[in-house]
Chain A
């Protein structure tokens, strides 16, 4: 009874485009996308929480802008791709019996984990870019843990399906002269046509099958073109927050490249960070504590030192980025003042909450473009951009570009 009902359901779900070849075409794009998101995500994670002995590239200056922009844009593109892939294989949910062996149980468990983790990653990733956190768990740590589980489940899934993937990898072996997909033979994958049933089930099945079916080639192209256009549209209409050329059609992104004080978006304002009072205090001083000596510098002291100009982007973990012109004192000049060349620094801010103390690794501290910035785009830093002084360095996430500096302490 259950078996025949499910068989009818599968008949109703049959479509010429629901085929292993479609699953392979969409699946390899999804897989590639997952790996890009995983790689760029790991870079972003370890930049913020390096393992002992890790060092990072400080060039090109736009490296993090590129990797995190990709992370968010590719993740956005994966939303329609994932739904299309699940549409393709949806009839398999109603297989009967659901599993035939211990291996089958493990296979379906891996798929369940893969699908569930992907949904949660894409959904919470997207809402996070809008600074909306509806989930009842920490975003960053969970996103990190689920990412490993996701690529693990993906590896298992690919391992299980490898013969089918190889069978349908090439177009020339998958499509007939008219553009339709070839029938799925024994051992060439699931999604085979339903066998003819007898009795009442057979009658119902025939009535379902009598419903008109689109030509195979039209059905296949509709699925691929629809998915492609949908992925293209969601990226095109949001990536303008990081790709200047797309800014004119940025209509759905959380950010606009030039909006914000001094033409730069703000992630956390001085008011949000409880930094207003200390930042605007005329008695503000920057303490630089080195291995040999410490200095306490006023804003005028800093302005009296050699000023360095640097064109560097602010690139946020949330996926937006903007190029800007900075001017201030190079951190390596400050390090030289206290005998701390080539060392690693603790950077303290007047802000409260997360990232109020961060580590400036030695490769970034030694980079000539890493500044204690006093000016942005030709004028004094706006308080929401970190007045009186903030850190700016190449190829690092925005959360580490500490605002409202209090002290640099050698580690």
Chain B
């Protein structure tokens, strides 16, 4: 390994640099944020990880195991299309939530929160559903045609 040494140097530099940057972040926190708010920050940092690791990720696991069972009976391509649709739908839902929540509390002025976010989210899911159903159907039809057409020797 001729390049082992330079890589080790790069790794040491990166870890050292990281420690310095984290220290700067700590300094910025001390200077900029009152100490009584630190517990709130800690709570949010820990809460975000728990929410993901103990709730979101297990739900995704259960969902994907269910889809796999279905996938064995239909086609994997169709399952893949449904999975992609669910991922896109989930992402759009995540970015729509702040709009819906903020709107429920009332906009600060008429030029902010300009859309009916809940309605738009519903429309987005409907559009994703229609597109997904159409794609799944097309895949099924093509498969059936291939299966019924006589194979060319």
Contacts and interface: CB of A to CB of B under 8 A. Distances in A.
Does A associate with B in a complex? yes
A370 B37 CA distance: 38
A148 B99 contact: no
Contact of A255 (B13, B60, B112): B112
Contacts of A226: 83-84, 87-88
Contacts of A324: none
A120 interface: yes
Bin chain B's interface residue count.
35 or more
Contacts of B24: 148, 152
B134 interface: no
B65 interface: yes
B139 interface: no
B95 A252 contact: yes
Nearest to B38: A137
B38 to A, nearest CB: 8
Contacts of B60: 87
Interface in A4-55: 12-13, 15
B98 A132 contact: yes
A1 interface: no
A296 interface: no
A147 B28 CA distance: 10
B55 interface: no
A166 B10 CA distance: 12
Interface residues of A, number: 89
B98 A127 contact: yes
B120 interface: yes
Contact of A146 (B25, B83, B95, B110): B25
A57 interface: no
Given A130-B98, A254-B99, A272-B108, A230 B37 contact: no
B84 A229 contact: yes
Secondary structure class of chain B's binding surface, majority of residues: helix
Contacts of A76: 95
B21 A152 contact: yes
Interface string B1-41: 00000010011111101111111111011001110011011
Contacts of A156: 14-15, 18-19, 22
Contact of B22 (A152, A162, A261): A152
A214 B71 contact: yes
Contacts of A146: 25, 41
Interface in A135-178: 135-138, 141-142, 144-160, 162-163, 166
A212 interface: yes
B44 A135 contact: yes
Interface in A217-258: 218, 221-222, 225-227, 229-231, 233-234, 237-238, 251-256
Given A131-B108, A265-B112, A145 B95 contact: no
A256 B56 CA distance: 32
Contacts of B32: 138, 141-142, 144-145
Given A115-B48, A147-B25, A230-B90, 20 more contacts: A84-B87, A124-B44, A130-B102, A132-B98, A136-B40, A148-B25, A151-B18, A152-B19, A154-B18, A155-B17, A157-B18, A159-B14, A159-B18, A213-B68, A222-B84, A227-B87, A230-B92, A237-B124, A252-B92, A265-B112
9 contacts: A113-B22, A115-B49, A119-B48, A130-B102, A137-B33, A141-B33, A166-B7, A212-B69, A259-B111
**Shortest Cβ-Cβ A-B pairs, 9 listed:** A152-B21, A159-B14, A141-B32, A148-B25, A149-B25, A212-B72, A119-B48, A155-B18, A156-B18
